[in-house]
């Protein structure tokens, strides 16, 4: 048995209690609402607007109620830091805050520019940069302050509010303001400032504004619940009607707007380059395997082909060893990869498009004696694992001795030869290893149940346009809900049972790799 110090037990006990407290299911979430015309209208008598209605619809799709809280923009971060269920609907997704939030879904896109008075000397010049003006106005602690500081040699002046920053430019005390088109329009309207003479001279970048949940211990499951609900809601007629109504209101106020994949974009259509997409699959029998030619076939491959077709993307599917699939999709932009197991350690690496399989994992052995937990594994025991697999990580974190191999046949062979006392995998993984070894493996049985984990189609995050993720999620939802797909799934499942004796059943497009009666 593995020995532990008293302090380690105390740390573990506190962590478990904290996790249980913070991970309790919730039936209500909060929404921080700061008054913004059309988007957030909130007073004692009425609450509405695009953001409020969209979040309410997403929460309803997740089976949750929404509690509205009147929170100024400047206080949103503090409020979310103390409340693990408080949502905010206009959090800009930037490299600096990427790891601080669960990003539920983008709602709007704003285009950042440098605005100067029309008569400013640089306004008539071509190829102007940020450093071509002597001073730039921003707001203190706003992410655009850091952008201006890091990307120009100009003097960056921080104000407490955007209206003060804009007034400084209108009065001539500062050359330009670094803001968004929609932000400038809204602030000038609310503050009754005459901003018609301000023109953009540098188009900088697009800021995607998300419904986001501040990361707290235990609220990851809530984030997943809301993310999946957002994909369902944004594919509904109700959301389509809300977008249409909002766009009409914006156009009535002379605000240029475009809509793409459920995201309202201000001043210009969003650019979505999908022609350089790389689609890569690990070789998994029955799910994604190369035929005698170059075609990749199987349940997962055919599902991905249908999703890409629905999204109007034409790219071939390539195959690669599992280790390379994970490495390339974690490092490079515009990579669609599958199947990838969804684990807490990988949560921040990908856009999780749609689940493919659900599998029960555990320890397998040629011994019949069951164990209650990983802590019951003898200190001298050796566990065979697949290299870079999430179960290998779990085993090492539990302090187990591991031997890593590059394929399931090698993992199974290590167990059968006695080089390992256990293997950490699933019944499906054992089956694949035994089939390729041409062994029946009747003496291998599961002695410890770990947990069920889903594999997904994923899209890489690094420098990938998040609107592409929204398009693929929506396309996946459309495909899986279609009558044609459901008929195909039923036929595939029956064929797998009859021809290959594969134990499985399909639930809402996800293949559960065990008998339905288990």
Domain range summary for the chain, segments of one domain joined by +: 6-108+208-266, 110-207, 272-476
The three-state secondary structure class of 391 is helix
Query: How many Å is the maximal CA-CA distance in the chain?
Result: 84
- Report the mean per-residue pLDDT for the chain: 88
> Could you tell me the pTM of the whole model?
0.73
CATH fold for domain 110-207:
D-Maltodextrin-Binding Protein; domain 2 (3.40.190)
Q: Which of 240, 244, 224, 213 is nearest to 478 (CA)?
A: 240
Write out 276-345 in H/E/C secondary structure.
Answer: CCEEEEECECCCEEECCCCCEECHHHHHHHHHHHHCCCCCCEEEECHHHHHHHHHHCCCEEEEEEECCHH
Would you state the pLDDT for residue 324?
86
- Is the pLDDT score of 503 beyond 60? yes
Percent pLDDT > 70 in the chain is 92
Cα–Cα distance, 475 to 42 (Å, whole number): 34
The three-state secondary structure class of 475 is helix
Which residues have C-beta within 8 Å of that of residue 321, sequence separation ≥ 6? 282, 283, 406
Cα–Cα distance, 138 to 121 (Å, whole number): 21
Q: Which of 71, 121, 119, 80 is nearest to 101 (CA)?
A: 80
Would you state the pLDDT for residue 41?
80
Cα–Cα distance, 226 to 65 (Å, whole number): 12
Of the pLDDT bands very low, low, confident and very high (cuts 50, 70, 90), residue 7 is very low
The three-state secondary structure class of 7 is helix
pLDDT digits (tens, 9 = 90+) for 143-188: 999 999 999 999 999 999 999 999 999 999 999 999 999 889 889 9
**Averaged pLDDT for residues 220-249:** 93
CATH of segment(s) 272-476? 3.40.190.10
Q: Which of 304, 339, 302, 325 is nearest to 496 (CA)?
A: 302
CATH class of 6-108+208-266: alpha beta
- Is the pLDDT score of 47 beyond 70? yes
Q: Which of 282, 216, 210 is nearest to 32 (CA)?
A: 210
Give how far Cα 132 sits from Cα of 115, 140, 196, Å: 12, 22, 22
pLDDT digits (tens, 9 = 90+) for 330-385: 888 899 999 999 988 888 889 999 999 999 999 999 987 888 999 999 999 999 99
Would you state the pLDDT for residue 273?
63
Contact between residue 322 and residue 410 where contact means Cβ atoms under 8 Å apart: no
């Amino acid at each position: 048995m593995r020995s532990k110090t008293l302090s380690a037990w105390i740390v573990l006990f506190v962590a478990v209690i904290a996790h249980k407290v913070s991970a309790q299911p919730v039936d209500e979430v909060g929404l921080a609402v700061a008054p913004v015309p059309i988007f957030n209208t909130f007073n004692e008598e009425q609450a509405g607007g695009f953001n409020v209605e969209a979040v309410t619809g997403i929460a309803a799709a997740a089976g949750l109620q929404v509690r509205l809280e009147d929170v100024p923009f400047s206080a949103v971060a503090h409020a979310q830091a103390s409340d693990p269920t408080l949502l905010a609907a206009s959090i800009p997704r930037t490299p600096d805050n990427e790891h601080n939030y669960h990003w539920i879904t983008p709602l709007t896109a704003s285009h950042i520019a440098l605005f100067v008075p029309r008569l400013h000397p640089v306004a008539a010049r071509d190829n102007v940069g940020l450093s071509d003006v002597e001073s730039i106005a921003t707001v203190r602690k706003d992410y655009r302050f850091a952008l201006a500081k890091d990307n120009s040699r100009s003097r960056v002046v921080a104000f407490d509010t955007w209206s003060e920053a804009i007034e400084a430019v209108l009065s001539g005390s500062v050359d330009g303001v670094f803001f968004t088109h929609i932000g400038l329009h809204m602030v000038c309207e609310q503050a009754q400032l005459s901003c018609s003479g301000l023109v953009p001279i540098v188009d900088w970048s697009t800021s995607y504004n998300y419904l986001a949940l501040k990361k707290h211990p235990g609220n990851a499951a809530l984030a997943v619940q809301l993310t999946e609900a957002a994909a369902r809601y944004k594919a509904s007629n109700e959301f389509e009607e809300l977008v249409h109504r909002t766009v009409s209101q914006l156009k009535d106020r002379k605000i240029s707007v475009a809509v793409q994949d459920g995201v309202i974009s201000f001043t210009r259509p969003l650019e979505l380059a999908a022609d350089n997409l790389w689609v890569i699959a690990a070789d998994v029998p029955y799910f994604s395997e190369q035929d005698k030619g170059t075609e990749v076939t199987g349940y997962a491959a055919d599902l991905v082909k249908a999703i890409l077709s629905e999204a109007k993307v034409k790219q071939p599917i390539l195959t690669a060893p599992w280790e390379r699939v994970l490495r390339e999709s974690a490092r490079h932009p515009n990579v669609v990869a599958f199947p990838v197991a969804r684990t807490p350690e990988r949560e921040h690496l990908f856009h999780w498009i749609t689940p493919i399989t659900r599998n029960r994992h555990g320890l397998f052995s040629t011994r019949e004696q069951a164990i209650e937990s990983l802590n019951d594994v003898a200190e001298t025991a050796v566990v065979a694992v697949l290299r870079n697999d999430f179960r290998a990580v779990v085993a090492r974190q539990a302090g187990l001795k591991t031997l890593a191999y590059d394929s399931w046949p090698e993992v199974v062979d290590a167990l059968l030869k006695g080089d390992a006392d256990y293997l950490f995998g699933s019944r499906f993984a054992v089956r694949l290893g035994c089939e390729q070894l041409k062994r029946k493996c009747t003496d291998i049985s599961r002695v410890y149940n770990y947990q069920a984990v889903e594999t997904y189609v994923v899209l890489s995050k690094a420098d990938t346009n998040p609107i592409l993720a929204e398009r693929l999620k929506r396309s996946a939802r459309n495909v899986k809900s279609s009558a044609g797909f459901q008929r195909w799934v039923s036929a595939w499942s029956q064929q797998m049972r009859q021809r290959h004796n594969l134990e499985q059943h399909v639930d809402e497009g996800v293949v559960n790799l065990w008998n339905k009666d288990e």
